[in-house]
């Protein structure tokens, strides 16, 4: 049996879920996964943990609402889908978390908000107060206004980066990234049957990035490279990151129990 990871002192956790964990392959919302995620994170708060959820899925959910099979390439359509999907996503979260007696809040961010020291401090103060009150902030990028075409930097690029930025700003102990893959492999496991999971990484270098594949699902924007960048940001802050499969969100309980699941990124 693999050695247990020592997560006893973990108090503040950021959990990032990708679009692939929240929607089915046809774009419809995966209500079972969302319910299980709500149950799991509510349970962590009951245990005395402080939890922030960084949730992708707004555009994907919006596509599902309109039965779109391909993500539009024009910015206004993506903005409109984000607005539609975010509203539906938060409605479902509100329903499911309320079932477990857990209060949630919505925090929509753009990159320039966290680049500007005063607004960055305001965000940090607000999230800290929510956590002190036992509330789970649900964070997403404000895709309705954040675009690459604006003169100032508004987009994070993906929610992997956003989750790491938020985690370092609020001084979280651990970032858990739930995706559609079991962890970080030495080669793409979807292409190579002999791909091996790497249980722990203490340095991210050029070779590590060469192992990373391309983009994620058609409903999302992330890929392995963005996850590596997020883990690298956490490692520079001497914080921990776990990359694991989010098909069953209750896996978070096992991760915090110290089970050797997924890939652990830590500073060497």
The rounded distance, in Å, linking the Cα atoms of 241 and 202 is 11
Give the DSSP H or E segment for 193: none
220 carries a ligand binding annotation: no
Whether 234 has a binding-site annotation, put simply, is no
Q: Is 144 part of any known ligand binding site?
A: no
Does the annotation list 122 as a binding residue?
A: no
Please tell me whether 28 is known to bind a ligand: no
Question: Which residues face 264 on adjacent strands?
Answer: 200, 242
Q: Which single residue is written with the structure tokens 């099979």?
A: 69
Which stretches does DSSP call E strand in the chain? Answer: 12-17, 50-55, 104-109, 136-141, 174-179, 200-201, 240-245, 263-265
Is 221 annotated as belonging to a binding site? yes
Does the annotation list 56 as a binding residue? yes
- 155 annotated as belonging to a binding site for a ligand: no
The owner of tokens 């789970």 is 136
Decide if 155 contacts 75 (C-beta within 8 A). Answer: no
At residue 203, the 3 state secondary structure works out as coil
C-beta separation of 239 from 168 below 8 A: yes
Contacts of 204 (CB under 8 A, 6+ apart): 228, 231, 232, 235, 265
β-pair type (240-245, 263-265)? antiparallel
143 is in an annotated binding site: yes
Residue list for the binding site for substrate:
56, 143, 159
Residue list for the binding site for ATP:
16, 179-180, 221-227
Residue list for the binding site:
16, 56, 143, 159, 179-180, 221-227
């Amino acid at each position: 049996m693999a050695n247990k990871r020592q997560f006893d002192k973990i108090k503040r956790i950021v959990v990032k879920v990708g679009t692939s964990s929240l929607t089915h392959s046809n774009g419809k919302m995966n209500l079972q996964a969302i319910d299980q995620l709500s149950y799991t994170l509510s349970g962590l708060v009951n245990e005395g943990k402080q939890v922030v959820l960084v949730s992708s899925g707004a555009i994907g959910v919006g596509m599902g609402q309109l039965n779109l099979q391909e993500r539009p390439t024009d910015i206004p359509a993506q903005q409109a889908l984000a607005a539609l999907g975010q509203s539906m996503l938060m409605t479902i979260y509100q329903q499911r978390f309320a079932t477990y007696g857990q209060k949630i809040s919505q925090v929509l961010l753009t990159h320039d908000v966290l680049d500007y020291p005063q607004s960055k401090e305001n965000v940090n103060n607000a999230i800290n107060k929510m956590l002190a009150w036992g509330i789970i902030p649900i964070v997403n990028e404000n895709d309705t206004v954040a675009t690459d075409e604006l003169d100032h930097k508004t987009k994070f690029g993906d929610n992997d980066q956003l989750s790491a930025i938020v985690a370092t700003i609020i001084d979280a102990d651990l970032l858990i990234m739930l995706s559609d893959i079991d962890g970080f492999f030495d080669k793409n496991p979807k292409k190579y049957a002999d791909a091996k999971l790497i249980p722990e990484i203490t340095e991210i270098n050029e070779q590590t990035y060469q192992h990373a594949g391309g983009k994620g699902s058609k409903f999302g924007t992330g890929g392995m490279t963005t996850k590596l960048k997020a883990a690298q940001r956490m490692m520079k802050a001497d914080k921990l990151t776990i990359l694991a499969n989010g098909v069953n969100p209750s896996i978070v309980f096992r991760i915090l129990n110290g089970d050797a699941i997924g890939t652990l990124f830590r500073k060497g």
